[in-house]
Copies of this chain bind each other. A is one copy, B any other.
């Protein structure tokens, strides 16, 4: 079964014929490590399903510092969702941390499909519910957990991501400097938590 079909049907029932109608609107995108899928200042007309590889959505602030909003690996969706939904130019970058093989779909095409395939709209609504919950939990986590607790929560929650990304990228996801992360990691090695 197609990885996208498997992914969708894990969450929402969808006939094979319906899936094929949906799939027809996706186009493959292949990028190599280091390339940018989305650059700041452009319209964001697509979202992307990850077949293979690892990516990161991040913002560069006025001091030149990077802030990571999300990582994405196989079977995750990625885009600059702020700009995708607001229909504004991107404020974030999406970079390939590894060589990537993606499927892209245009927002307007997807919204057209919602009119004829209600189960597709349902899938994306549920996807959004899960993402929304994840971000609410992350806000709570940032509000009351220490950097060390957030780091350990991160590696427990995403062990397969931790191994594929740089520490400075994890630091920018946690909201600390690479130096602070390095200190936390050192601490942990000696006290074996």
- Which A residues are closer than 8 A to B by beta carbons? 59, 61, 63, 65, 67, 69, 81-82, 85-86, 114, 118, 121-122, 124-125, 128-133, 135-140, 142-144, 172, 175
Bound complex: CA A183 to CA B86 (Å): 35
Copies of this polypeptide in the complex = 2
Q: List residues of chain B with CB within 8 A of the CB of A131.
A: 132
Report yes or no: B143 in contact with A82, Cβ–Cβ below 8 A.
Answer: no
**Shortest 4 CB-CB distances between A and B: which pairs?**
A67-B143, A135-B135, A125-B125, A61-B144
Interface of A is mostly: helix
- Are A132 and B69 within 8 A (Cβ)? no
Minimal beta-carbon separation of A113 from chain B (angstroms): 13
Closest B-chain residue to A62, C-beta based? Answer: B144
Please name all residues of chain B whose beta carbon is closer than 8 Å to the beta carbon of A82 when the two chains form the complex: 133, 136-137
Residues of B within 8 A of A132 (CB): 81, 85, 128, 131-132, 135
Interface contact B118-A121, CB-CB below 8 Å: yes
- B122 & A175 in contact (Cβ 8 Å cutoff): no
Q: Which residue of B65, B128, B138 is within 8 Å of A128 (Cβ)?
A: B128
